[in-house]
Structure 1
């Protein structure tokens, strides 16, 4: 029987221009490391660290894997670099311009799911520290306390679209994949949950995704799209859950 609802964050619980925000994010964070390294070197290290997360074997948190890759050749600087990231997320991150809106019926949906006694998880790609993830959640006027689990850089050992990311969530919840419904807007990163046995729901508010990330002018493949069991606006999740609960 269905026990948990996993909800993606970006362009599922909160709608915004991800590519535009990423570009402004890079503009803001790069100067914060200017005294440590040139801008191009920082961008290369950041991308190397993020891309390297796809190869984490699950033996350590993503934060450790990221920092090892980012700090290669920077002897003794790891703690100071991490503190620099935390300082950025505590202050400058809030100044990045972003226009967001909540999907229609978000509050009503969460209230209804909670009323059914379902466990709620924010299953967002754990590429950012907890501090950043909670601030992104706040864009939708949502508090992390409302959810049993919020995935982030420090508490996960895999990233999307690794199937092991979803298996790790199940392990944390002590549930089987068949007891979970994954809700998200991304046919690559979110709907892959179906390969481990989860039921999947593809949201439509954000429109069709161009599965190529724009990174410094280069096109980067994002993986294989997976079919969804259900699809529609986020508000339609309630009807599907009611059907699954019988």
Structure 2
């Protein structure tokens, strides 16, 4: 296995979290904030849900942010520019209440630092459905910092979302690497393990396993976050 770049998923991987509970609470906070700003809560929720679906189906013609803003405004009737201005502090304040749904592990910072000490390039390949502020907040909940990664994917600059292969193509292009140079580490069989079809090595973290399609796990290297830590300990120093 001649790899020199590790791609880490965030939610459910470096940051143990119940994704369903987190998203349900996120919707609630988002709608409450919209109401506090004097906006129609039902319209804001409809816009949020439609915007998320649109990002997941983004065809690459525009960034995920632009796709979200367009659909949110179209569905909710709320001007997205005005909304973004009013909503700018949400991810600095209210969003952090959602940290209560995370169960951070001391292993996560150790894993990232050990990989870097061994000379591996590390990138955070989290599905880019959140703005940079929301992503950096969740990185912090995991006991990490954005500047520990060569790349962090957010909705401002990405044009696809997981499991679309073109999301990963953009990651590879920005890092200047090939699929065969990388190990993808994630907890979602559909979203993260798809890279195996394109020649990338994988490690499936099973602590917060998501397997919506009930696929066989046999093809994948897998284990707990502790198992991942042990696996990385055994990796030879990167010679690149």
> Does the 8 Å contact 1:187/1:226 carry over to 2?
no
- State the match for 2:131 in structure 1: 129
Aligned-partner Cα distance in 1 for 2:211–2:228: 24
Q: After alignment, is 108-117 or 123-132 more displaced? A: 108-117
**What number of residue pairs does the alignment pair up?**
234
RMSD: 2.5
| Superposition TM-score, scaled by structure 1 size | 0.85
Of 183, 187, 190, which aligns to 1:188? Answer: 190
Q: Report 1:88-167 matches (<5 A).
A: 88-96=90-98, 98-103=100-105, 105-167=107-169
- State the match for 2:225 in structure 1: 234
Q: After alignment, is 154-163 or 21-30 more displaced? A: 21-30
Ranges in structure 2 where 5+ consecutive residues have no aligned partner: none
Of 71, 83, 87, which aligns to 1:85? Answer: 87
* Inter-CA distance 16–76: structure 2 relative to 1 (3 Å threshold): closer
Residue 243 (structure 1) shift: 6.7
SS state at 1:188 partner:
helix
Ranges in structure 1 where 5+ consecutive residues have no aligned partner: 212-222
Which has more strand, going by share of residues?
1
| Superposition TM-score, scaled by structure 2 size | 0.87
> Deviations along 1:62-107, whole A, 9 cap, x unmatched?
1011101111177792211122332211222123461433336333
Aligned-partner Cα distance in 1 for 2:168–2:235: 23
> Deviations along 1:11-41, whole A, 9 cap, x unmatched?
1101122222222222221122225543222
- State the match for 1:10 in structure 2: 11
> Does the 8 Å contact 1:6/1:120 carry over to 2?
yes
Aligned-partner Cα distance in 1 for 2:113–2:62: 35
Q: Report 1:44-83 matches (<5 A).
A: 44-72=46-74, 77-83=79-85
Structure 1's consecutive aligned runs of 4 or more residues displaced over 4 angstroms after TM superposition are 73-76, 223-228, 243-246
Residue 110 (structure 1) shift: 1.9
